[in-house]
Amino acid sequence: MFYFGSFLFIIAALLLAIALGRRSRWLGCMSPRGYLLHMALGVLIIFGASFLFAGIAEDVITAAPLMAIDRNIVQWFEVHRTPGLTALMLIVTRFASILWVVCATLVTGLILWRKNCHYQLLALILAVPCGVAQMLLLKTVFHRHRPNIEDAYSTFQGYSFPSGHTMTATMLYGLLAVLAVQALKGWWRRTSAVLAAVAIVLLVGFSRIYLGAHYLSDVLGGIAAGIAWLALSLTAVYTLRQIRIHPIRRLETT
């Protein structure tokens, strides 16, 4: 219940921040009240997601009851795999593959550069390439081994926690959802973009568990870490934008 409640809280705050992005012209000129609201939401999401990641990481290190759930889920999928669903999951998992992420990032970056959206481009660089570097660092720190499944689809390389595919998908599609919210008109279109991003992230995470590449805690940790890093990147760029538009005035002494 702790993890479920924490995820609902973080997702609700994230959706609220994205929903407010268009109305208050995120990364644009804002009133002091709007500025403080966005800063507060950003900090709230960062600390909430970081707290959730820390809780999951602690369970991974101490072999808490969550680890028993991990093993049970892996064993269940090991017995209930089907050729048709396996083929589908192999397609889904490619939406967070290295080649796909690199191509999507380059195309998005080129579009933003041609449109002179320099701050959004900076957010993209911080969220995805820098986020992937952060993910690799976390894997090295925790060096958790992947599930030991004899009939797994393939021999997966690298460490298991957090899930690299899931964390990368969270950062990439989360940022694309933010950009879509800025560009689209109508609440239903913006909501659809956000829901599509959430669905892709969840499907990618599910595919990694199904294929035997990760435990449930790896996927949950990847989502939490991805949300935290994405929120940190957006908040940092937003703050930089505000400082440049509204520089701090030096006190004049008379």
Summarised one tens digit per residue, pLDDT across range 189-248 is: 888 888 899 999 999 999 999 988 888 999 999 999 999 999 999 888 888 877 776 654
Tell me the CA distances in angstroms from 84 to 73, 80, 87, 88, 125, one per residue in order.
19, 12, 5, 6, 37
Do you find a cis peptide bond into 162, omega within 30 degrees of 0? yes
Asked if pLDDT for residue 37 goes beyond 60, the answer is: yes
Tokens of 142: 């925790």
Burial zone of 73 (CB within 10 Å; 0-12 exposed, 13-18 middle, 19+ buried) = middle
**Cβ contacts of 138 within 8 Å, gap of 6 or more:** 161, 162, 225
Tokens of 165: 């595919």
What pLDDT, on the 0 to 100 scale, is given for residue 28? 42
pLDDT digits (tens, 9 = 90+) for 129-141: 999 999 999 999 9
Three-state DSSP class for residue 16: helix
Asked if pLDDT for residue 74 goes beyond 70, the answer is: yes
pTM of the model: 0.82
Tokens of 170: 């969270």
The percentage of the chain sitting over the pLDDT mark of 90, rounded to a whole number, equals 35
Q: Which of 28-37, 65-74, 109-118 has the lowest mean pLDDT?
A: 28-37
The domains of the chain are located at: 2-245
